[in-house]
């Protein structure tokens, strides 16, 4: 089977997202924290193209798959990027990018056949120690400790820093999470294959949310994606 490598064109141009708090009044002045994540999370507009038989001609199985449904559905390859920037200010704990797939006409509804990445993480060694100090109440001497019983267990666990959300529906997305000892930083290419009704006009809209620690308090933020980040670009 041949490996199909799609040409994604030039490097994406990232746009800064303007986040606002969704936590409401917390007894502090709202002004300084209206946009504490300014410059911290950027997204490139989605791009994509229809997957035709010609594009996958080198893979006979994939070409046949596209051909068999060509009288009823179309397939699209959609991609975008998200970038996290390290800077002074609140500690970024997690972020989510949630997309909405829509077509005109709206039946049959579009949905994601696959998304990448679906999950990625790092192996971490976790140690759990349980200590029990039994106590016994005796006449005259009162409460007496009989010593500690300690049990240690060590195992490896995968801590995910990116995972797909609703990967096979009309509202796919991704969640990015800070893991112990690592900042939420760097860029990630996000890809999905979408199935839509034949000759339907496909659009991809989306919203970003984020959680950060401001001072000693957890805050939640949301960014509406104005043009050109509405994700309503036809593909």
Per-10-residue mean pLDDT, the chain, length 235: 58 84 60 71 87 88 88 92 87 93 90 90 52 48 50 52 92 91 85 92 90 87 62 47
pLDDT for 122 equals: 57
pLDDT for 159 equals: 58
Structural tokens at position 182: 């690592």
pLDDT for 76 equals: 92
Using alpha carbons, select from 21, 52, 44 the residue that is nearest to residue 214: 21
The verdict on residue 229 lying in a domain is no
pTM of the model: 0.75
Residue 219 domain boundaries: 15-118+162-223
Q: Which residues pair with 172 in a beta bridge?
A: none
pLDDT for 112 equals: 96
The verdict on residue 80 lying in a domain is yes
Which H or E run includes 150? Answer: strand 149-165
The verdict on residue 145 lying in a domain is no
The verdict on residue 177 lying in a domain is yes
Distance CA(228)–CA(117), nearest Å, equals: 24
User: What is the domain count for the chain?
Assistant: 1
The verdict on residue 137 lying in a domain is no
* Cα-based distances in Å from 10 to 56, 201, 228: 21, 24, 17
pLDDT for 46 equals: 84
């Amino acid at each position: 089977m041949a490996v199909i490598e799609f040409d994604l064109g030039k490097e994406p141009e990232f746009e800064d997202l303007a986040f606002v708090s969704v936590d409401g009044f917390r007894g502090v002045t709202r002004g300084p924290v209206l946009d504490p994540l300014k410059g911290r999370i950027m997204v490139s507009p989605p791009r994509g193209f229809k997957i035709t038989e010609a594009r996958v001609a080198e893979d006979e199985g994939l070409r046949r798959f596209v051909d068999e449904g060509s009288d009823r559905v179309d397939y699209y390859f959609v991609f975008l990027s998200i970038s996290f920037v390290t800077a002074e200010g609140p500690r970024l704990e997690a972020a989510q990018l949630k997309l909405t797939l829509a077509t005109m006409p709206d039946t049959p509804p579009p949905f994601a056949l696959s998304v990448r990445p679906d999950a990625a993480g790092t192996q971490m060694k976790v140690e759990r120690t349980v200590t029990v100090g039994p106590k016994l109440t005796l006449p005259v001497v009162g409460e007496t400790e009989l010593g500690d019983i300690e049990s240690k267990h060590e195992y490896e666990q995968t801590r995910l820093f990116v995972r797909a959300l609703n990967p096979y529906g009309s509202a796919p997305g991704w969640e990015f999470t800070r893991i112990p000892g690592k900042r939420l930083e760097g860029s990630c290419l996000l890809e999905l294959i979408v199935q839509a009704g034949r000759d339907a006009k496909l659009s991809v809209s989306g919203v970003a949310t984020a959680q950060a620690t401001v001072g000693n308090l957890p805050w939640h933020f949301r960014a509406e994606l104005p043009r050109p980040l509405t994700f309503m670009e036809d593909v």
